[in-house]
Structure 1
Amino acid sequence: MLDIHMFSTATKVKGQGVGSAYMELVQLLQRHFQNEFKVSINQYGRSDISHYHTINFRFFLSTFFRRRGRKIGYVHFLPETLEGSLTIPQPFKGIFYHYVIAFYRRMDHLVVVNPSFIPKLIAYQIPANKITYIPNFVSRKEFYPQSPEQITALRQHYQIPADQFVILGAGQIQERKGVDDFVELARRNPDIQFIWAGGFSFGKMTDGYERYKKIVDTPPANLRFTGIIERSELMNFYNLSDLFLLPSYNELFPMSVLESFACGTPVLLRDLSLYRSIIAGYYVAATDVDDMHQKIADLREKPASLAYMQQQAQAAADYYSEERLAKIWHRFYVEQAKEG
């Protein structure tokens, strides 16, 4: 039996995708391989594999301990992807960015959630043969389509008319997520109910916190900010919505998109190159806020197009299913243990 030690503090900060991805993987291993893998959380004893999900300094120090087994680093972000998310003054920003790469270099192998990270890591002098792409996934035990009767009841619960078109966005409230465009689209479409599920996971450290706090406190009449909510309630919002919109300027492999797919909700995204390599064909792409406005109008006017994108969402959920990814993770851990 392989002894796998997971290291993470991602669940301490609610409303961020890293925590969701971490929990999904731990639960996958416990459900599928409890007779093959022994999984421990934040334990520093002897192990076959030490899998680091967050880059805490004490985790970094533990990489110098003996008998840590094969050291695996999960790359959820790079220094450049933090721009527009957090406000870190100099010289602390430069020091932290240097530390991020130093942490990754300490690993025996890295797992990236998006293949676009591979050339960037290579540019940081990390060999390509030490990097593996394994996408995120979502368990259908937690995110799944609800019945029309359940959706009707949900709309009544949240006081949303049964015939009103609903657009959902999700994630931390920050500039990188394209929240400004989401607000602008709400202003342009007063007859549509817009909902943003998420909040300020990092409080006042969030880039542009004061400005976004004012928006959250006084939004357009048809825009609702839920704040940070539990994943079980988030599933309700995916199901009662007609369209999921994520206007992010910079993303990794957003869990919110996979969660939307799993619930069978059509997806509209900003046209980013990183999406094309991982979910091409499963979503509607838009270049800017004007294009998003037009795509929304097109989908509302053409129910058949919306229904087709619902089918594509379900197809994406099948491809990024827990069952398929379980096989990939099993093979990866076994191969890495042999390298240890």
Structure 2
Amino acid sequence: MFSSATKVKGQGVGSAYTELVNLLREHFADEIDVQINKFSRSDISHYHTVDFKFYLSTFLPNRGRKIGYVHFLPETIDGSLKIPQPFKGIFFHYLIAFYKRMDQLVVVNPSFIEDLMRYGVPKEKIVYIPNFVSKKSFFELSREEKKELRKKNKIPVDKFVVIGTGQIQERKGVADFIELAYRLPHIQFIWVGGFSFGKMTDGYNELKKVVDNPPANLVFPGIVERKQMNEFYNLADLFLLPSFNELFPMSVLEAFSCALPVMLRDLTLYKSIIAGAYLPTSNVDEMEAGIKCLSDNKEKLKELRGKAVEASSRYSEEHLAQRWYSFYKEQTEMVK
């Protein structure tokens, strides 16, 4: 495994990488020897991030099958980071060159197969394996435990709480999340995450003003340790991710795993992976109407919760373990 994803906290790439390493070590410790960032002889070299030193390592002998994990494309970086020209163009060119150096690419959303093909990657070199989360990390707490959590965080038990998570940036739709807090002062809003890339973050100046001085019903706890995230999900009644562009957000899977009802901006790429498992919305007005409806209608909220639980079983660690094992086994056969 080659990755620097955990160096920057609060990003989904690091979560996906951590989940996969833990899965392999827990389920296949006797069959798969996992080494991290070591340039020794290997049957498979799985690249999770596109560091330049990793790119150079692909030219070394005894790399085995080179696997690239596609967590983002040039179009998904726009709206996340401010990269001035000509550096943006250079990086985008490098990113595609990195992917083309791989023997096999793994995408977390099938909609990205056609995007990669447009960049000149042959379809037979691309395979779809979805993200997943472990029930050991994200799970629903008991009703009493949830009450204690709210008490600890000074949130009334009967208060309707909406949570969003991820980096604070334009692409994530944080501005709409903030707008909803202003429109619905009787609802508690929490956005867990921060400016993982500092002032390079798109929309940093305007968003930072609100983070430093939010409305009374909006809280920004900042970037928290991953193990704390389970508590934040269990504090809430509804998970909302108003992103304008995503691959397969880990945060949605984490919410599902905690049996938390989910509302999303209805992106096309969601339709092939989690259609029917969330409440779709097109804009901030529909999000406002949806929150009002769910906060007043316990039956509809319960129905949405059931859909989250069902989706969680499809993207569980147990369900994906055998899929990853079979994939790696196929790759090692190609080395022989």
Same fold (TM over 0.5): yes
Inter-partner Cα distance in structure 1 for 2:175 and 2:203? 11
1:140 equivalent to 2:135? Answer: yes
1:59 equivalent to 2:54? Answer: yes
CA deviation string 1:269-310 (max 9, x = no partner)? 001100111001110000100011111111122211100111
Inter-partner Cα distance in structure 2 for 1:229 and 1:41? 24
Inter-partner Cα distance in structure 1 for 2:190 and 2:207? 15
Counterpart in 2 of 1:3? none
Counterpart in 2 of 1:14? 9
Inter-partner Cα distance in structure 2 for 1:336 and 1:323? 21
Inter-partner Cα distance in structure 1 for 2:302 and 2:232? 18
Amino acid at match of 1:10: A
Alpha-carbon deviation of 1:213? 0.8
Alpha-carbon deviation of 1:119? 0.2
**SS class of match (2:147):** helix
Counterpart in 1 of 2:149? 154
Inter-partner Cα distance in structure 1 for 2:307 and 2:173? 24
1:120 equivalent to 2:115? Answer: yes
1:313 equivalent to 2:308? Answer: yes
Alpha-carbon deviation of 1:339? 1.3
Inter-partner Cα distance in structure 2 for 1:101 and 1:290? 37
Describe how 1:63-82 pairs up with structure 2 within 5 A.
63-82=58-77
Alpha-carbon deviation of 1:204? 0.9
Inter-partner Cα distance in structure 2 for 1:79 and 1:115? 17
- Which of 256, 280, 287 is the aligned partner of 2:282? 287
**SS class of match (2:33):** strand
1:197 equivalent to 2:192? Answer: yes
Which aligned segments of 4 or more residues in structure 1 are displaced greater than 4 angstroms?
A: none
Counterpart in 1 of 2:201? 206
Give the number of aligned pairs: 335
Counterpart in 2 of 1:331? 326
- Which of 177, 181, 189 is the aligned partner of 2:176? 181
Counterpart in 1 of 2:247? 252
Inter-partner Cα distance in structure 1 for 2:142 and 2:158? 16
Inter-partner Cα distance in structure 2 for 1:295 and 1:160? 22
Inter-partner Cα distance in structure 2 for 1:291 and 1:212? 22
Alpha-carbon deviation of 1:315? 0.7
Alpha-carbon deviation of 1:231? 1.3
Counterpart in 1 of 2:226? 231
Inter-partner Cα distance in structure 2 for 1:76 and 1:268? 22
Alpha-carbon deviation of 1:97? 0.3
Alpha-carbon deviation of 1:11? 0.2
Inter-partner Cα distance in structure 2 for 1:247 and 1:16? 16
Inter-partner Cα distance in structure 2 for 1:243 and 1:308? 12
Inter-partner Cα distance in structure 1 for 2:203 and 2:179? 17
Alpha-carbon deviation of 1:251? 0.6
For structure 2, the residue ranges without an aligned partner over 5 or more in a row are none
Alpha-carbon deviation of 1:212? 1.0
1:101 equivalent to 2:89? Answer: no
TM-score, normalised to structure 2, is: 0.99
- Which of 210, 217, 229 is the aligned partner of 1:215? 210
CA deviation string 1:106-150 (max 9, x = no partner)? 000000011111001001110000000000000000000000010
Inter-partner Cα distance in structure 2 for 1:333 and 1:120? 24
TM-score, normalised to structure 1, is: 0.98
Inter-partner Cα distance in structure 1 for 2:235 and 2:56? 46
Inter-partner Cα distance in structure 2 for 1:56 and 1:300? 45
Alpha-carbon deviation of 1:239? 0.5
Inter-partner Cα distance in structure 2 for 1:337 and 1:130? 15
For structure 1, the residue ranges without an aligned partner over 5 or more in a row are 1-5
